[in-house]
Amino acid sequence: MSEVKRPQDIFNYAEITDECIKCGMCIPVCTIHNANADEVTSPRGFLDLLGAYQNGNLELDKNAKDIFESCFLCTNCVDICPKSLPTDMVIEQVRSDLADKFGIAWFKRAFFFLLRHRFTMDILFKMGYVFQTCGFKIKADLNSMKPRFSLPIIKKDRLLPSMSKTSFLNANPENIDNGGKKRVAIFIGCLANYNYTEIGKSLLYILETLEVDAFIPKKQLCCGAPAYFTGDFDTVDHNAKKNIAYFESFMDDCDAMIIPEATCSAMIKIDYEHYFHDQPEWKERAIAVKEKIFMATEWLEQETHLSELLATKEASELTVTYHDPCHARKMQGIYQEPRKLLKQNYSFVEMSDPNACCGFGGVTMQTEKYHFAKAAGIPKAAMIKETKANVVSSECSACRMQINNSMDLAEVETVFKNPIELIAEALGKQ
């Protein structure tokens, strides 16, 4: 059993570097090393550079910036490391130093501003919905769109999530009474709120069927993950504190807060505690809040009779394969629950490596280093194609965006659906 490190032990880069035994177990599973086979862009390469930086032997110049921004933060290396060295976490920390020194690109600053201000984002997404057909070809069956021409950040061959007419948070009342056997709050996530709104609709349908009351906290902000992975700690600090204080106001009245998004769940449940390692009061508040936070399939499978109910429903003719989000299986240990629920009504086939990172990698990877995201996505699309499944499922909308794009590039006809959508359909949702 590898040693589990506490957040307060982690952020000494030199000490973490000294603990690396250079065994090389991380190399074959490293997403960026597989896309760009260079020792520098490998977990042990990152750790050596981080140690040199802390010891004053490495300047954070543009070359170092380019290297540290190449990590996908997939945590494959942490998962397999015999010493559980938190390479992803120390890279997240050094990205804050890089942001302080070099600043953050204008388009990222604009995006993170929107993540802080829900009202402004609501207006812009509403405008985006109205005018999206001007710049994009809509693929309604995939909840996606493709640019009609190349933009400074968005290339023409990209498949992106399309915008919904009304966000999930604005489309539903705050309190929904379904019989009162239990009461859960829903943290929806930005992509599910504005783009893949069928996830939220499906979750509400499931809760109604189970007679579980739903509370939709309207003042929830982005979890802060995009900013955290980019080094914009000001946005993380703002959103995390606002969210924690807001969660505290209603959590005692709920059995749980469920999240149908792996990245949002991991950010709130795990990374908030890591981020607040040097702010004791907020760290304790983050730890207290996380006790009631669950991924949606985790809570539904463990705390309700959903499995038994699904067993009474007809079997579907669809074949489903499942991709494990990095922030679900490796960070939270959630992978059996969605499979157990889906196998009740669908033919299930595993892809050759469901645990392999899809290649999303965050805002920087999807914009300035898109060629790496594209390269990392090709093997995942090939695995999906090999299964001949009708549907690929994953409880993560970032994975959905990346995998949809990878399948489009590889001309794979499999459709992507969140497991929550598939479960709702099995229960009878039209």
pLDDT band at 6 (very low <50, low <70, confident <90, very high): low
Measured from the Cβ of residue 54, the count of other Cβ atoms closer than 10 Å reads: 18
pLDDT band at 1 (very low <50, low <70, confident <90, very high): very low
CA distances from residue 170 to 124, 204, 213, 424 in whole angstroms, order as listed:
14, 14, 18, 21
Which residue type, as a one-letter code, is found at position 292? K
What is the helix (H) or strand (E) element at residue 308, kind and residue range?
A: helix 306-311
User: Domain 302-427 class?
Assistant: alpha beta
pLDDT band at 140 (very low <50, low <70, confident <90, very high): confident
Give which of 171, 246, 227, 222 is closest to 362, Cα–Cα: 227
What is residue 2's predicted lDDT score, i.e. its pLDDT? 43
CA distances from residue 171 to 142, 194, 267, 350 in whole angstroms, order as listed:
21, 11, 25, 36
Give which of 170, 171, 155, 166 is closest to 129, Cα–Cα: 166
Got the DSSP string for 362-405? Answer: -HHHHHTTHHHHHHHHHHHHHHHHHHT-SEEE-S-HHHHHHHHH
Alpha carbons within 13 angstroms on the beta-carbon side of residue 28 total 3
Mean pLDDT of the chain: 93
Q: Tokens 């979890």 appear where? A: 223
Give which of 200, 216, 217, 204 is closest to 178, Cα–Cα: 204
Q: Is the pLDDT of residue 3 over 60?
A: no
The rounded distance, in Å, linking the Cα atoms of 358 and 323 is 8
CA distances from residue 123 to 19, 114, 238 in whole angstroms, order as listed:
49, 10, 21
Percent of the chain with pLDDT over 90: 84
What are the residue ranges of CATH 1.10.1060.10 in the chain? 7-102
- The average pLDDT across 352-356 equals 97
Pair type for strands 175-176 and 160-161: unpaired
What is residue 379's predicted lDDT score, i.e. its pLDDT? 97
Whether residue 212 contacts residue 184, with contact meaning beta carbons closer than 8 Å, is answered with yes
DSSP classification of residue 355: T
Beta strands in 191-233, from DSSP E residues, in sequence order = 212-215
What are the residue ranges of CATH 3.40.50 in the chain? 302-427
The rounded distance, in Å, linking the Cα atoms of 381 and 24 is 27
Given its phi and psi angles, is residue 211 left (phi above 0), alpha (psi -120 to 50 degrees) or beta?
A: left
What is the helix (H) or strand (E) element at residue 182, kind and residue range?
A: strand 182-186
- The average pLDDT across 289-298 equals 97
What is residue 163's predicted lDDT score, i.e. its pLDDT? 94
What is residue 85's predicted lDDT score, i.e. its pLDDT? 87
What is residue 9's predicted lDDT score, i.e. its pLDDT? 55
The rounded distance, in Å, linking the Cα atoms of 64 and 67 is 5
- The average pLDDT across 350-360 equals 97
252-255-257-259 Cα dihedral, nearest 10 degrees: 180
The structure's pTM equals 0.94
Tens digit of each residue's pLDDT (9 = 90 or more) over 224-233: 999 999 999 9
Whether residue 331 contacts residue 325, with contact meaning beta carbons closer than 8 Å, is answered with no
Give which of 219, 265, 252 is closest to 397, Cα–Cα: 265
Which residue type, as a one-letter code, is found at position 146? K
Give which of 117, 41, 112 is closest to 73, Cα–Cα: 41
- Phi and psi angles of residue 324, each rounded to the nearest 5 degrees, phi first: -85, 115
Pair type for strands 160-161 and 144-147: antiparallel
Q: Is the pLDDT of residue 51 over 90?
A: no
What is residue 18's predicted lDDT score, i.e. its pLDDT? 80
CATH for 7-102 is: 1.10.1060.10
